[in-house]
Amino acid sequence: MAPTADAALEALEAFESGPWGRKYPTLAPAWRRQWDQVIPFFVFPPEVRRIIYTTNATESLNSKLRSSVHSRGHFPTDDVAIKLLYLVLRGVSKDWKMPQREWTAAKTQFAVLLGDRFSIA
């Protein structure tokens, strides 16, 4: 993980000129096209970025939400859909046994960054 946006750009250039960049020539240009959306994450400390970059939990949650919506087909109102998603989220949170290893450090950083808008509970 690059510590700064400049270091990340250098790493991207190294990737592009290296063997992986030659093997996958479309990746570096794709990152360059979206660079303005990538660099805002560098304002966060590394502990927070590590949590943001980890997508397994996010993908798992999205999968559960998609499958619950897909299995019901259609909804008569938006409120019904929102209630279903709420119930799925409530049920999924009961299955979370252990927090992600880096979450403790990230929570501390969130508390510093967000102040009273974030509770460590």
* Domain limits, the chain: 1-43
> Is the pTM of the predicted complex or chain greater than 0.85?
no
**Cα angle: 98, vertex 51, 49; to 5 degrees:** 160
- Cα separation, 111 vs 121, whole angstroms: 11
Question: How far, in Å, CA of 40 to CA of 58, rounded?
Answer: 20
pLDDT in tens, the chain (121 residues): 788 899 999 999 999 999 999 999 999 999 999 999 988 888 888 878 877 776 677 788 888 899 988 888 788 999 999 999 999 888 887 777 766 667 777 788 888 888 888 776 5
* Segments in 73-115 forming alpha helices (H): 78-95, 103-114
